[in-house]
Amino acid sequence: MSILKAYRFYHKESIERRANDILRQMQMTTNFAPKWPLEASLVADFLDLGVVWDQIVPDEEGAIAARILPTERLIEINEDILDKPQGFQESTLAHEIGHWVLHINQDEADGIVKQLELDLGDYGTPKESEQPFVCRGTSGSKIDSIEWQAQYFAGCLLMPKSILEEKRQGRNLTKWSHLYKIKDELGVSISNLTYRLQEFGWISIPKGSRKIHRGTLEIKGQTQLFGSTCG
């Protein structure tokens, strides 16, 4: 069995449920109860994952943004990302946590560690299943899908629907100034926030436009409200 899970398609609801389950488990603890803006490193600590920022040298396939060392339970992020805004950094780490939850066979990784501790492993060239899980910009149908899954998980983790419901109260989501305030309160990037809000149908931003419209769900909800009062 490989440390990397075989490719599978995840529905958005399934990914969101996995993220919410982790947040729910954290909420039941004293040391890891989540607060917003959520620090992704707190989630990594809860999952017993180490995080290091280091200079990751490009390999023959190109630049490496981040990688996971499964048998070490370690996420390594390219320190070049430290030049990016904080929201991008949090999203990157949450993205890697998404890979760990969705794409790494954790039982297999822990099993290899135990095997090495018993001096039963091969200390030569690492086995294929022990190689790092590398996150890069390479494209391909399965790779694109896997990267999308991890990024969607990151959005669910950093911006749960329940928290967004709280943050939107008393605010006009069609105004950029209000969205930027929510962005700051959640510690995320504006692009990730608007993507998430559009996923819920709360807003709509036509491609190539800066104009924010009410989303289909908002329009539908208001129509139903007026319909119920005029009957």
184 belongs to a structural domain: yes
Q: CATH code at 60?
A: 1.10.10.2910
Q: Which of 114, 137, 158 corresponds to the end of one domain? A: 158
Reduce the DSSP state of residue 64 to 3 states and report it. coil
The per-residue pLDDT for range 56-99, each reduced to its tens digit, is 998 888 889 999 999 999 999 999 999 999 999 999 999 999 99
* One domain for residues 16 and 56: yes
| Nearest to 96, CA basis, from 115, 69, 75 | 75
Q: Which of 111, 135, 158 corresponds to the end of one domain? A: 158
67 burial level (CB within 10 Å; 0-12, 13-18, 19+): buried
* One domain for residues 77 and 39: yes
| Integer Cα distance of 183 and 83 in angstroms | 19
Count of structural domains within the chain: 2
* One domain for residues 118 and 175: no
* One domain for residues 211 and 153: no
What's the pTM? Answer: 0.85
Give pLDDT < 70 ranges for the chain: 1, 109-131, 136-141, 221-231
* One domain for residues 119 and 175: no
4 belongs to a structural domain: no
* One domain for residues 91 and 197: no
Structural domain that includes position 70: 12-158
